Structure 1
């Protein structure tokens, strides 16, 4: 009888505990792909019980999803900003520098992404496509810089003659 009471108390704790109630809400939000809400519910659950393993797991998974979504939004913006500049028929040194900054911004966020996150196959494909596009951009920037240096050296030689 005492054992049954103890089991009921333990089960009741996990179903009625505010931390575990929030954890279940976080799980539901995560399943509905509302990662921000899942993150917030799991954070609240962890404030109430920092040993709530379910909340801890959902908290980490939600944060990973949010990081990837934020990265993809930022990569899209960098891509669009670069395309806006590249639409011009001729680029000046300032625009080439802006493209370099856009590339550097993309690369910094790309490098930070994979230390903590595990993208889905669809996300992985999108990330790889952005990476390949920006890699090509970097190669074109290097070519442009070389041409500018050659042109500068050629002008310097003409001045010396």
Structure 2
């Protein structure tokens, strides 16, 4: 991704962690993402936290189900910028590209990328040396700092 200059792309925080490519790893990725967001001033239960938790869940589940290579982990990276939260999940399977499936009401699964596409302002896939990264961006609304307040007094969610 080419990052355009300007205040909307000012880096605020970054979190990167590898997880085992298992269902347990996917659950842990979501839990740690929410804990990290809370530490960044985005409390659990806020719209940004709820949407981010869902994105991490869907992308991590896809990495575990479709991107798994025995002996390889998947990686979660969250980047909190002034105007956007970027969630990236990388796995070792570069040959299996994510595809948004046609709507099939009889299918019990296959809706993960539809959820990602519905929540995210933008999303896509980038190649890596080994594997691929699926990323999604959520817009971040920032309340103005109250008169006489401090920058830390406003809700980052």
TM-score relative to the length of structure 1:
0.24
Radius of gyration: which is bigger? 1
The structure where strand makes up a greater share of residues is: 2
Higher relative contact order, structure no. (Cα contacts within 8 Å, ≥ 6 residues apart)? 2
